[in-house]
């Protein structure tokens, strides 16, 4: 329970269905960060979750995963930005905390399954589990769940995945839950007020050093304020006035430089992902998939070029824009686009016109 409406209603639905429910919240950071007003799992959110648990008549506990969170999610966040990658801490939290450490802790506590407020669905076909997009396409969160395999899906429930967000809020209102009108969390939970620049200044200063902005031909056209402030595809905040819109094409951490280009030069023909995980069997070389590389982003048809242990490469049918290293890529079934096949972390991209 994060203190939000989705996990609150997920718990309520399970109580209604007769499950023996225990509410669990994760303490993910220490000291001053625990008092942040933004994000989930802060002191205020814990109070909201506890009150919801009281209304539902279920026990509620806060489990301390602060050390694990810092050693994995925050450490990865820092190293990715330092290397010019675009991290996704919410995906990493699912990968290393919620559906790993917490799932194992739940087993030791005697729980049979872990239920969350994610908008996704689980089904069974021929004795195998499937992970499907949530009914509410605007809130679908299957993209951030690519790390779930058969064993983890067998012990996971998504009670709100079959409903629209409006229905979730309606149920919360009818039950008198204090989270019914609570806005969705949008910011990175450990970044105060969403001010990434200030966070990087304090915690990753090496990624916030000024450096050159250059064109694809090597001409310097400006100076950036630190590579952690930018991501591939970004236009705003470059401070360049050349009479044409320019976008970040790539980030070179070794030279501490941004490479910019016109939009027509942003195309990406394909990419390679590492740390792959699949719900069932991985796609085969030569197979077809649909690729999503942003939360709530569109999907792109692609061909699987090669599959190796922990690694997969794809080529888009048509060039895609603003594909960044460090982002997650989720793969969906080309014939049944509701079905999530799995995913991984983008480790390398192929500029349009080059070969995979």
> Catalytic residues, which ones?
93, 189
Q: How far apart are CA 62 and CA 202, in angstroms?
A: 28
Among 334, 341, 330, 325, which residue's Cα sits nearest to residue 282? Answer: 341
Q: Return the DSSP state at 51.
A: H
H-run or E-run covering 288: strand 288-292
CA 299 to each of CA 169, 231, 327, 329, 347: distance values in angstroms, whole numbers, following the listed order:
28, 20, 14, 10, 19
Contact 241, 235 (CB under 8 A): no
Nearest to 226 by CA among 203, 257, 261: 257
Task: Give the list of residues 6+ apart from residue 206 with CB closer than 8 angstroms, or none.
Answer: 82
3-class state of residue 49 by DSSP = helix
């Amino acid at each position: 329970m994060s203190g939000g409406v989705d996990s609150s209603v997920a718990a309520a639905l399970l109580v209604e269905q007769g499950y023996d429910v225990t509410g669990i919240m994760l303490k993910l950071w220490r000291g001053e960060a625990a008092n942040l007003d933004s994000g989930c799992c802060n002191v205020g959110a814990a109070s909201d979750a506890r009150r919801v648990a009281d209304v539902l008549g279920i026990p509620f506990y806060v489990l301390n995963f602060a050390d694990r969170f810092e050693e994995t999610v925050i450490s990865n966040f820092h190293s990715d930005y330092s290397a010019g990658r675009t991290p996704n801490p919410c995906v990493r939290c699912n990968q290393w905390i919620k559906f790993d450490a917490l799932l194992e802790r739940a087993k030791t506590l005697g729980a049979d399954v872990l239920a969350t407020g994610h908008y996704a669905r689980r089904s069974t076909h021929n004795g195998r589990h499937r992970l499907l997009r949530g009914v509410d396409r605007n809130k679908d969160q299957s993209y951030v769940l690519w790390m779930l395999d058969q064993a983890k899906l067998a012990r996971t429930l998504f009670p709100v995945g079959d409903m629209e967000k409006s229905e979730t809020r309606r149920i919360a209102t009818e039950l008198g839950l204090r989270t019914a009108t609570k806005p969705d969390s949008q910011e990175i939970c450990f970044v105060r007020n969403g001010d990434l620049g200030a966070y990087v200044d304090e915690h990753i200063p090496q990624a916030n050093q000024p450096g050159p902005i250059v064109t694809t031909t090597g001409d310097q056209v400006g100076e950036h304020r630190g590579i952690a402030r930018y991501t591939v595809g970004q236009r705003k905040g470059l401070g360049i006035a050349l009479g044409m819109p320019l976008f970040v094409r790539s980030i070179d951490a070794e030279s501490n430089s941004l490479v910019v280009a016109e939009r027509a030069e942003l195309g990406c023909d394909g990419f390679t992902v590492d740390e792959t995980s699949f719900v069932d069997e991985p796609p085969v070389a030569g197979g077809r998939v649909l690729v999503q590389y942003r939360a709530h982003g569109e999907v792109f048809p692609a061909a699987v070029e090669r599959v190796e242990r922990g690694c997969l490469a794809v080529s888009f049918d048509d060039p895609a824009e603003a594909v960044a290293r460090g982002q997650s890529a989720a793969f969906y079934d080309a014939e049944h686009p509701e079905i999530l096949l799995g995913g991984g972390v983008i480790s390398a991209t192929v500029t349009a016109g080059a070969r995979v």
